[in-house]
Structure 1
């Protein structure tokens, strides 16, 4: 086992309410009876979840997480009713989990309800289903697009193509499609010959996710270089998408296949002393919480217990404050946004706390509002305006902050920040690389 063992932690992590609450549900049971989750009975209708919901704030037709969670389960138990189609308006930000004072597994209920609705009630030939399936499987699209990145970027950046995508598929033409890198992270990794540091004691397996591989390999490179600077052996197993966009679109069969492949490639490394590191907070949330909640696959519990966000891991196992005390960077001012999935893991202040005393850096937290894009939610034509309304508070705070460069750990939040303000966006790992490597 690595020297960087997980310290004892008696505080429940977000989504972890007790010893029995991480039991996976059977999403598509053979019987018609649905697993209602005992946690539904813990809801006493305080509406804290509804108050915290960014979608309910801007969408008068969305009934909110309390209805989508415990009330819908109770209705099914009494009347065997179908899942209400409003479940597809949930953005999967998971803020309701944080807000609930009684440990109701709201996001697990929402994920399961979306899966049942898509499986049983959605027309598989409808524009909505086809569009959602494409967005949910971005990794497949990105793998194809990255084969000819310059051509793909030219085609997807064409305004006529964007208008066709909106008319035919319902993918908004208001957003610029993210550019594919001319060299993926994995291509760079293979070209450099894999790990440059070997260690028996300090070992991590990098879960880079789709976006850092195909679109922003500079984030993955920064992660590798920073960890190697601290003496870690970094390995990069074969992997599939974490499943986050699949959960959000009710494509749970797709997510289960991806989870199985990731379990096969990562779980076996844990007994060899490797912990799992993600540079995207949605990826770490998926591996930590959603996998063990939804799927009964060998290895997922171990993966959940050994998964960390990258900077979180370094703050636990290394003295980053001392390392940065003698460091300096060129003068930079940042407007930092904490992603919802960072907040759900208790990581919302880590970048501000880490960099506020770094010589050359001014960093300002732009508030606790949701960015509004929520992965694929803000890419849907009918959700675009709502996503921008949700993000308006963040945009306003960014524009009034001293910095004109944004910072966040989430790639889709990064898209929304750039889209709403025009600012360049950095990942905290890139600043850490600049300071230490």
Structure 2
């Protein structure tokens, strides 16, 4: 037997120590074509941002070297995840970015390091750590406030009239920019007088009982606190097709936490969500979400970042709401027989919809609806990317990224926007002044009796 045929002489070389999340295979799949960099909306406008290739496979290799710190440019990534869709080799770029960002944020928690130094009897070292860490303290507080939107929204929902006035009071917005770095250029979204979950309890829960057709609705934070009309439309449309809608206990999907490197917070929310959604699946339900970022989190980011019982089942049974109706052919022929008052829409497909292959969904769906004209405004990023566009230092970048979308919207026939993503809707309205609707609202108007939808 030759040396080449012998299996005893050769053992696999373990380049790095084994970890719970080994991204080496994905890193090795990168052949530096730079397609991800050319698709990155941030790299196009921010000369200091090195792009997805560096933040992903190159940084992953570097950070495995002893003593290498995560580069702080990871903060520049908006988590739009367009690089995932662009990569011809299916390198898990956003997973690498989320992991690196989480490690970077953990490394900046100087309080823990200072306390450890004190315990070692090194007060000067502790003082030095605190001095070095103060510079980024306000930024970390700001990011935590933005990432934990559900907490502030819950509080605001208790006194929506006061919150709406206070948060959009000019001096208050100026103060938030000066103290926290939250841009004063944007108006805060209004909080609804009644949250979706309050409405759900008031109406007595589901109005259709059908154990053979059940969906568990993951409404997310925004549809609960700010746009309950979207969540109500989802319930009405699904009940119109005979589905029993369940609304399990839930927390934030974690999307804004991923974008700000707060993986510990995101995991805590994921534990609750996976537990409750997995239980619904065991009882025969599928999961539907009206926000494409929420469905993306449940489908992709959860199993990529967390090891939880039931997480794969949740990922496999999660769908975007309109996607679910189309897959089950509920809408087959339904819109051809329906009509709405003459209306024209400028539709923007969110980046997270594109990542799920849903970017043409609304255009195709409403082509047969009499009275409605839905025009695609192109494949550019809106620029806001959740919390990214709310940061004072990122605001100008977000508006520059969104310029192409704004121009296409203004040249479109319709003067009403349409999208599935709530923060894209914020950006669309901010850049054009148009009213923005969700596809589910148009479906409700076409298919649901007015007496039902107004209830």
- TM-score if structure 1 supplies the norm length? 0.92
* Uncovered stretches (5+) of structure 2, i.e. residues with no partner: 1-16, 112-133, 449-455
Does residue 279 of structure 1 match 2:266? Answer: no
- Quick check: 1:361 aligned with 2:348? no
Which aligned runs of 4 or more in structure 1 are off by greater than 6 angstroms? 30-34
Q: 1:203, 1:34 → 2: CA distance?
A: 35
* Further displaced range: 357-366 or 213-222: 357-366
Matched length: 408
Shift of 1:272: 1.2
CA–CA distance in structure 1, aligned partners of residues 291 and 324 of structure 2: 13
**Equivalent pair of 1:36/1:74 in contact (CA under 8 Å):** no
Determine if contact 1:122/1:129 at 8 Å carries over to the other structure.
Answer: no
Query: 1:63 is matched with which residue?
Result: 50
Q: CA deviation at 1:313?
A: 0.1
Q: Distance in 1 between matches of 2:48 and 2:292?
A: 29
Q: Judging changes above 3 Å, is the alpha-carbon distance between structure 1 residues 33 and 289 closer, same or farther for their aligned structure 2 residues?
A: closer
Asked if 1:233 is matched to 2:220, the reply is no
Partners of 1:268 and 1:137 in 2: how far apart? 25
Q: Residues 122, 99 of structure 1: CA spacing in aligned structure 2 closer, same or farther, 3 A cutoff?
A: farther
Does the CA contact (< 8 Å) of 1:226 and 1:433 recur in 2?
yes
1:137–1:246 CA contact under 8 A, matched in 2: yes
1:203 is aligned to 2:202: no
For structure 1, the 5+ residue unaligned runs are 1-29
2:170 counterpart of 1:183 = no
Alignment map for 1:25-424 (pairs within 5 Å): 35-121=22-108, 126-424=137-435
- Provide Cα deviations, 1:377-407, integer angstroms capped at 9, x if missing partner: 0000000000000000000000000000000
| Stretch moving more, 392-401 or 312-321 | 312-321
State the secondary structure of the residue aligned to 1:322: coil
Partner of 1:26: none
> Matches of 1:221 and 1:413 in 2, distance apart?
20
Q: C-alpha displacement at 1:356, in angstroms?
A: 1.8
Deviations 1:147-172 (A, max 9, x none): 00000101001000000000000000
Q: 2:341·2:371 contact (CA, 8 Å) conserved in 1?
A: yes
Paired with 2:91 and 2:65, the residues of 1 have a C-alpha distance of 19
- Structure 1 residues 84 and 34, CA, compared in 2 at 3 Å: closer, same or farther? farther
Task: Sort the Cα spacing of 1:123 and 1:53 in 2 relative to 1 into closer, same or farther, 3 A.
Answer: farther
Whole-Å separation in 1 of the counterparts to 2:215 and 2:67:
47
Distance 1:86 1:69 in 2: 12
| Bigger relative contact order (CA 8 A; separation at least 6) | 1
Q: Which residue of 1 aligns with 2:124?
A: none
SS at match of 1:91: coil
For the pair shown, which has the larger CA radius of gyration, 1 or 2?
2
Alignment partner of 1:200: what SS? coil
Query: Which is worse superposed, 225-234 or 74-83?
Result: 74-83
**Matched-pair contact (CA < 8 Å) for 2:43–2:49:** yes
Question: Are the aligned partners of 2:241 and 2:330 in contact in 1 as well (CA < 8 Å)?
Answer: no
8 Å CA contact 1:321–1:354 kept in 2: the answer is no
